[in-house]
Amino acid sequence: MIRFFDLIFSLLGILILLPVFLIISVLIKLTSKGPLLYRQNRVGISNVDFGIWKFRTMFVESDKSGLLTIGGRDLRVTSIGYYLRKFKLDELPQLFNVLKGEMSLVGPRPEVRKYVDLYTKDQQKVLTIKPGITDWASIMYRNENIILEHSKNPEQDYINIIMPDKIRFNLIYIENYRLSSYFKIIFVTLWNVVSPTSLKEK
């Protein structure tokens, strides 16, 4: 049933948002050199890697200096990229990942292999369902980069504090996996996009 809604919503989303895709594409091309889209390998269901798509928000090859984005104004992020990230518009191309069946609209945000390899046996349960564009963890940690800005060791704090907490939220979702939760998360996500406020400050 959830796959049915994923197909309908992702297809409708792509069709309705085509003008937005076009505007974003023009702005990216006008403000920085490089491709429109950024593809990164992430870990999906059954611990299998796949390519996730985003609008490019950083200067080319900036990801080589680190996987985490830190602070409200990471210097690697382009001028338009800052706003795309702020309003989560950079995630829109993942509607094509959903259409292909690699992702769901709702589910644990897919991690890079580097961090998944650190999961405990219990934490690996998040790999038993399709990853999603949004989940409770993404909503609660929507300002994660600002949180990490105040850390003396951002990567270690991400690994030891933020990542386990995100997985905790995801495991709760999996244990209570139902259609009502799916729609609730979509609604709350859309509400926070149009009315961006931090639900979790540290």
Quickly state the pLDDT bin for 76 (edges 50, 70, 90). Answer: confident
pLDDT of residue 65: 66
Q: Smallest Cα–Cα separation from 140: which of 117, 95, 172, 115?
A: 172
Could you tell me if 198 and 142 are in contact, meaning their C-beta atoms sit under 8 angstroms apart?
A: yes
- Fill in the DSSP letter of residue 74: -
Please check the confidence at residue 72 and state whether its pLDDT lies above 70.
no
Question: Rounded mean pLDDT of 25-34?
Answer: 94
Quickly state the pLDDT bin for 200 (edges 50, 70, 90). Answer: very low
**Tens of pLDDT, residues 103-156:** 999 999 999 999 999 999 999 999 999 999 999 999 999 888 778 888 889 899
pLDDT of residue 201: 39
**Tens of pLDDT, residues 57-70:** 999 887 776 667 76
pLDDT of residue 73: 67
Beta bridge partners of 37: 55
Distance between CA atoms of residues 154 and 24, nearest Å: 30
Question: Rounded mean pLDDT of 21-46?
Answer: 96
pTM score, whole prediction: 0.87
Could you tell me if 113 and 41 are in contact, meaning their C-beta atoms sit under 8 angstroms apart?
A: yes
| Residue listed under structure tokens 């309908």 | 8
Distances (CA, A) of 174 to 11, 69, 87, 111, 123: 25, 27, 26, 17, 11
Please check the confidence at residue 159 and state whether its pLDDT lies above 60.
yes
Please check the confidence at residue 189 and state whether its pLDDT lies above 50.
yes
The percentage of the chain sitting over the pLDDT mark of 70, rounded to a whole number, equals 93
Q: Which amino acid is at 60?
A: V
Between 74 and 97, the more confident residue is 97
